[in-house]
Amino acid sequence: MSFASLHDRLFDAAAGRHPDVRITHHQYLATRDLNRDLQTVLPHLTGVVVDLGSRDKPYGPWLGAGVTEHIGLDLAPGPGVDVVIAPDQRLPFADGSVDAVLCTQVLEFVADPDALLAEIARCLTPGGRLVLTVPFTANQHGEGDSDLLRLSAAGAREVVGRALVVDEVRRQGGIGSTTAVLLLNWIRVALSGRRRWLRGLLLPVLLAVHAAANVAGLALDAVDSTGHFYGNVMVLAHRKVP
């Protein structure tokens, strides 16, 4: 086992793995409100659910008993990927054949969001639902130059509303979580590449720093009533019923 693999196993044991991360994880505040909102929405989905960017289907356990099929779709194979497509390929589903689409933290990697949302609308049954999340304030992430997009709450409403009927837009996070996530992600990126070995050496210190930053972030979020410094956006929408 490599030193990096050992570090990853120790880190996962101490801080958890997505989506079940603890306050000692650098992504705790990045996912806290996202997970809370998904846990309130996903149990109400029914029928055929398509999970775009599924990888290992982390949110599958939160789907309700009314879901008859959970189809994972991504650009590369993975443990939760049932269908692999090319970046410019249409969604491989018949018109009006899908009851719900889950698209979490995917839109920022899409070169033509309007085309994807039009495809989602085509596949959805009349009244079929879209659950979409997208970052507003976040560091560059993903591989190479794949990270393309940020949307405010108003921007997300506008973009999704060009293809579907928007039911609700939720702002996730505040000044504390936004600041803490950027800081902790900066530390992680700074300790990447040839300096990645420092993560293992400094693991106890990093866990303490993560916890302290996350607690401070929660405290700041509690007093932030501006609604302007959120990190993420959730949009709930449906296909118009004729």
User: What residue spans define the domains of the chain?
Assistant: 3-238
**pLDDT tens across 62-109, in order?**
999 999 999 999 999 999 999 999 988 999 999 999 999 999 999 999
Exposed e or buried b per residue across 136-159, where buried means at least 16 C-beta atoms within 10 angstroms of its C-beta: bbbeeeeeeeeeeeebbbeebbeb
pLDDT tens-place string over residues 109-145: 999 999 999 999 999 999 999 999 999 999 999 888 9
Q: pTM of the full predicted structure? A: 0.93
d(CA 15, CA 210): 10
Percentage of the chain modeled with pLDDT above 90:
89
CA distance 186 to 171: 23
Contact 120, 164 (CB under 8 A): yes
* Cα–Cα distance for residue pair 199/184, rounded to 1 Å: 12
For 3-238, CATH number out of 3.40.50.150, 3.40.50.620, 3.30.420.40, 3.40.1440.10 equals 3.40.50.150
